[in-house]
Amino acid sequence: MNRRSPDDLRTAEGRAAGGAGGAGGGGNRGERPRLVILNPTCLDVIDAHRDDLDARGVRWAADPAFRSLQPDQVDQVLAGAEALILPSALRSIPLAEHMERHPSLRVLSIAAIGFEWLDLETATRCGIVVTHAPVREGVEVVADMTWGLMLAVARQIPLHDRQFREGRRDRGMGVSVWGKTLGIVGLGRIGRAVARRAAGFEMRVLASEPRPDPQFVREHRIELVGLEALLRRSDLVTLHVSLDARTRGMIGERELAWMKPTAYLINAARTEVVDAEALAAALAGGGIAGAALDVPPPRPEPLLGLPNVVFTPHLGNRAIEGVHAVFRCAVDNALAVLEGRRPELVVNPEVYGLPLRAPGPCGSLRSLKT
């Protein structure tokens, strides 16, 4: 899409804003939207939710121009907004300066599980409620994708697809995942969903998790071990950790050296969890058998020429069932705050011990259809 100027964006926003140009409902023509939908994945399904949004009693904006939002357009888009559906195309916004400059902002509703990119401290200090959307559907679709990546790299499916399209009919040799040892780094919601699926493949499951659910571990016969033991013993290692100081770069040269040369690494978590240069060296040198990355590094060139790597452009949550459910949850969270209710899925609960930003006038808001 061609870049629009701030003035162009203002016009486009007016056309897309509920009550401000005919695409939505609730409010007088020309009024600023109170709910601004910046999340590109949510924008992909906005047409299916227009009727529900129009019935919510709040002005809203969701314009395709938001997909290519530029830094000099942020203040224009945020002006007068009380709720944002995030993350946006500019992943780190709103920055501290935006939160301080726009006193109308009352809730940042993240249509995802992770929120490590957001300045939570400033949001809390400013009295802004932050929510997320760890809904079951969103968890399960990422677990599905993880298994797709595992099978794809172990059975060399993308490699043979490319070769076939090039006219080559030679057949390589993959490995089975059935009966192997699966190591799950991070046994949170997604990690547990991955573990449940392992039973169908009759796999031995190891997990590294600082705060495990004892009942789940017992019921699913999971062996809890440290990271080194997991990497040394597993045939497939899959990463499901949030990004923080502890996990940034947690899989580097040393950790890759602990893995078997026949093992596969799957990363459907965050790019920064794995040292890309160390991974490229391990793959090129036979240190591990292969890798599948749903979150490729910003500079993937050292990995692109390797036949034993599978890439997808962060598709883990890109299944329609999950997207609809996450979007509904994010909208419900945002409107709960605008209505003066406390959502269940607050990630900065300490904000309720501080003065919250004052609400504006708000009509009767109802929950999205399920």
CATH number of the domain where residue 71 is located: 3.40.50.720
Question: How confident is the model over 310-354, as pLDDT tens digits?
Answer: 999 999 999 999 999 999 999 999 999 999 999 999 999 999 999
| Same-domain status, 245 and 193 | yes
| Same-domain status, 162 and 301 | yes
| Same-domain status, 231 and 110 | no
Rounded mean pLDDT, 68-84: 94
Asked if the model's pLDDT at residue 30 lies above 90, the reply is: no
In the prediction, which pLDDT does 33 show? 72
Tokens of 28: 């007088």
Rounded mean pLDDT, 163-169: 95
Residues 330/39, Cβ–Cβ less than 8 Å: yes
Please tell me the pTM assigned to this model.
0.86
State how far the Cα of 62 lies from the Cα of 77, in Å rounded to an integer: 11
Question: How confident is the model over 186-231, as pLDDT tens digits?
Answer: 999 999 999 999 999 999 999 999 999 999 999 999 999 999 999 9
| Same-domain status, 95 and 132 | yes
Is residue 66 situated within a structural domain? yes
Asked if the model's pLDDT at residue 119 lies above 70, the reply is: yes
Tokens of 145: 């994708």
State how far the Cα of 355 lies from the Cα of 160, in Å rounded to an integer: 59
The residue segments making up the domain with residue 187 are 157-170+180-198+225-307
**Residue owning tokens 């997990």:** 207
| Same-domain status, 245 and 165 | yes
| Same-domain status, 89 and 17 | yes
| Same-domain status, 323 and 294 | no
Tokens of 56: 């919510």
Is residue 21 situated within a structural domain? yes
State how far the Cα of 341 lies from the Cα of 333, in Å rounded to an integer: 9
Is residue 368 situated within a structural domain? no
In the prediction, which pLDDT does 347 show? 97
147-172 as b/e: b if 16+ CB within 10 A: bbbbbbbbbbebbbeebeeeeeeeee
Q: How high does pLDDT run on average in the chain?
A: 89
Torsion of Cα atoms, 90 then 94 then 95 then 100, to 10°: 160
Question: Considering its fold, how many domains does the chain have in total?
Answer: 2
Q: pLDDT category, 11, cuts 50, 70, 90?
A: very low
In the prediction, which pLDDT does 31 show? 62
Is residue 364 situated within a structural domain? no
**Residue owning tokens 């007068």:** 80
Tokens of 111: 């249509």
| Residues forming a β-bridge with 292 | 266, 310
| Same-domain status, 116 and 230 | no
Is residue 360 situated within a structural domain? no
Is residue 218 situated within a structural domain? no
In the prediction, which pLDDT does 28 show? 41
Is residue 346 situated within a structural domain? yes
State how far the Cα of 345 lies from the Cα of 233, in Å rounded to an integer: 37
Is residue 299 situated within a structural domain? yes
| Same-domain status, 187 and 302 | yes
Q: pLDDT category, 58, cuts 50, 70, 90?
A: confident
| Same-domain status, 116 and 186 | no
| Same-domain status, 112 and 81 | yes
Q: Which of 89-93, 274-278, 360-364 is least confident? A: 360-364
Q: pLDDT category, 136, cuts 50, 70, 90?
A: very high
Q: pLDDT category, 13, cuts 50, 70, 90?
A: very low
Question: How confident is the model over 238-257, as pLDDT tens digits?
Answer: 999 999 999 999 999 999 99
Quick one: which of 225, 223, 176, 218 has its CA closest to 204? 223
| Same-domain status, 29 and 131 | yes
